[in-house]
Amino acid sequence: MSRTYLPLWITFALVLLMFAAGASQFDGFASLRVVTNLISDNAFLLVTALGMTLVILSGGIDLSVGSVIALSGVAAALLIGPYQWHPLLAFALILPCAALFGAGMGALIQYYQLQPFIVTLAGMFLARGVATLWSEESIAIEHPFYDAVAEFGLELPDGGWLGATSLLTIALVLLMLVLTHYSRFGSYIYALGGNSQSAQLMGVPVARTTILLYATSSMLAAMAGIIFSFYTYSGYALAAVGVELDAIAAVVIGGTLLTGGSGFIIGTVLGVVLMGLIQTYINFDGSLSSWWSKIVIGGLLFFFIALQKLLSRSWQQKAGGKA
Amino acid sequence: MTNEATVLNSHHSDQLEADQLKADQLKTARQARYSPGQSAHKFSLYLYPLLALALLLLVNVLMDPQFFSLQWQDGRLYGPLIDIVNRSAPVALLAIGMSLVIATGGIDLSVGAVMAICGAVCANLLLLGDWSIPAVIGLAVLTGVGCGLLNGVMVSYLGIQPIVATLVLMVAGRGVAQLLNQGQIVTFQNPDFAALGSGSFLGLPVPVWLVLLALLIMQLLLRRTALGLFIEAVGCNAKASRYLGIDDRGIKLAVYILAGGCAALAGIIATADIQGSDANNAGLWLELDAILAVVIGGAALTGGRFSLPRAVIGVLIIQALSTTIVVSGLPAKFNLLIKALVILLVLMLQSELFRNQLKALLSFGKARGGKA
């Protein structure tokens, strides 16, 4: 059992190590302000990665999330700006539409037996295409609701500040934690990722689960887009390019296997935190160039995958046979 | 196998006839399975991609009667068709390498980043000044091969899933390219090297020649030796091909190395074309175009079959589509949307269920509920 949690512990240890390294080198690194900034800066990535975790647990992949973030941002900005909708009303339209978009991709994958990689790739082009069609320029959002949300938050000691979006993100993490690890839907996902044929024979509603899964991922991506719009006060069709890869990287660093069936929501949270800490460290240092973060994240990715491979191999040998 | 059967025959002369029959069956089976350019099925495989390309070109001609016109100027051909072919060159090279990787059931997300790295290598070496052009090209290709080696070792010997293994280099590679360029766009003045991207030879642009050369060499290498068959065997079932004596790990390593080499060539063309290396944008998202081209060319992402000419046709379709959108006068913002819709259509047409549904829908009056 401890082997199952080993990748988690290693990521956790690396997070602590990174934090300790920062704290020992820079004044003010070890403060609640840095921690809360870490959450608010990476809130949209974290929410996206939550959905990605579900999809990867099922053995699939969702490349469309970055574009869905941009699309929902543009949609929100347009509805709030030129169309004069109340933001909450706009969100109430955007989220179900995103879910429908994801369900469509899930249905193509399920019923037409198309590869998730290529279907969500088309979805990525489609969402980004619709977003550019609606607006090629960045649209600023100005609304009293956005100002009110920006002022709302929890004041913490030591300069810490948990804003509304951070609180929302934490709530979503808790929700997904329960949904993935303590609900029937969650166990269906694990079953699918383990072996979809066995899952079907066991009576798992494979079609429904697959479709719901991609719908959830797209809806969380749209949620991330909304959170991103609170962060930037704008919607832009070219925003969040490549976020899907960051999300996949975070999920993998968090110890989830890309073959599906094995991983934890909390691992993804740790993965995002670790990537954010690296970025924070580079920002604090100031002399390190931004490309080092890419190289370090690439190196970390390699380290984790190699580690997982090693662990699963030794586990297989202990079990005394190959699957 | 036929030879083995004949050897066996001499030992068991009483079963001669039965064995002869078996050998004949084997022979026909082998010919049916593997005879490039002879099966009737092959024709239809080329039919749909070529039809799509022809349709796109037709749309262009209808919008612009001058579309097929070619002008001879300064010793080279000019015209919209040449434009399409020339612009397809980098992605075509990527698609050739990607075809092989996909045929083994893998995928290579890193080729765009490898393009950027090789471009940066070229630009920086040319800036140093004391490197001859063949040496620069050689080093750039070597860099690409090295990147491919890294991917290949991760996939075949460490057993890492191809998407993740190549994601490592996709993320880190662009960082490495930026590191080489120190975050700048490195430009150089070297007409001889620039000719690789914008020069012409016998009337055609040099990049087109490079693609043709790569296609010819690869096709000969893969289809006149057993290598192509081995690649397909590994893609169908790696374990089974290992039991047959095929070095499946070596084959996988080889295809990633070839893909790295192709990416290096594409990077050289892209760098020579703009006479500079932009680590942020060189080859950005081209890996996705290459994957799409291979899929449009009819290859399954699950592996097991490939066709280099069809992959190149796929690239031409993608490029012709972009050109069509420009020619049609639609704003560029429609580009992605139309691309997405066409891709979805092509994907759906490849799904048997959808084709059956379509047939049922078309013959609705005659046969009700003709679902397979």
Cβ contact B178–A290 (<8 Å): yes
Which residues in chain B have Cβ-Cβ distances shorter than 8 Å to A302? 154, 168, 172
Domain ranges in chain B? 43-349
**Closest Cβ–Cβ partner in B161, B183, B344 for A259:** B161
pLDDT digits (tens, 9 = 90+) for A272-298: 999 899 888 888 887 777 788 888 888
Which residues in chain B have Cβ-Cβ distances shorter than 8 Å to A297? 171-172
Cβ contact A298–B172 (<8 Å): yes
Which residues in chain B have Cβ-Cβ distances shorter than 8 Å to A249? 167, 171
Count up the domains in chain A and report the number: 1
Distance (Å, whole) CA B105 – CA B353 = 23
Distance (Å, whole) CA B118 – CA B144 = 6
Residues of A with CB under 8 A from a CB of B: 61, 108, 111-115, 117-119, 121-123, 125-126, 128-130, 132-133, 136, 245, 248-249, 252, 258-259, 289-295, 297-299, 301-302, 305-306, 309, 313
CA angle B166, B169, B173 (to 5 degrees): 150
Position of tokens 């022809």?
Answer: B54
Residue to substitute from A124, A236, A291, A314, interface B, most B β-carbons within 10 A: A291
CA A258 to chain centre: 15
Cβ contact B337–A292 (<8 Å): no
**Tokens found for residue B84:** 């399409």
Average pLDDT over residues A55-80: 95
Long-range contacts of the stretch A265-269 (C-beta < 8 A, 24+): A265/A50, A265/A53, A265/A173, A265/A176, A265/A177, A265/A180, A265/A181, A266/A8, A266/A177, A267/A7, A267/A8, A267/A11, A267/A53, A268/A46, A268/A49, A268/A50, A268/A52, A268/A53, A269/A46, A269/A173
What is the pTM (predicted TM-score) of this model? Answer: 0.85
The CATH architecture assigned to B43-349 reads: Orthogonal Bundle (1.10)
Give me the interface pTM, i.e. the ipTM. 0.81
CATH of the domain at A303: 1.10.3470
pLDDT (tens, 9 = 90+) of chain B, 372 residues, equals: 445 544 444 455 566 777 777 777 777 666 555 544 444 456 667 777 888 888 888 888 888 888 787 888 777 888 888 889 999 999 999 999 999 999 999 999 999 999 999 999 999 999 887 888 999 999 999 999 999 999 999 999 888 888 888 989 998 999 999 999 988 899 998 888 888 888 888 888 999 999 999 999 999 999 889 889 999 999 988 889 999 889 999 999 999 999 999 999 999 999 999 999 998 888 888 998 999 899 888 888 888 888 999 999 999 999 998 888 888 888 878 888 888 888 888 778 777 788 888 888 888 755 554 443
Count of CB contacts below 8 A, A vs B?
127
Residue of A nearest to B350 (CA): A114
CA angle B152, B156, B160 (to 5 degrees): 95
Cβ contact B340–A126 (<8 Å): yes
pLDDT digits (tens, 9 = 90+) for B133-182: 999 999 999 999 999 999 999 999 888 888 888 989 998 999 999 999 98
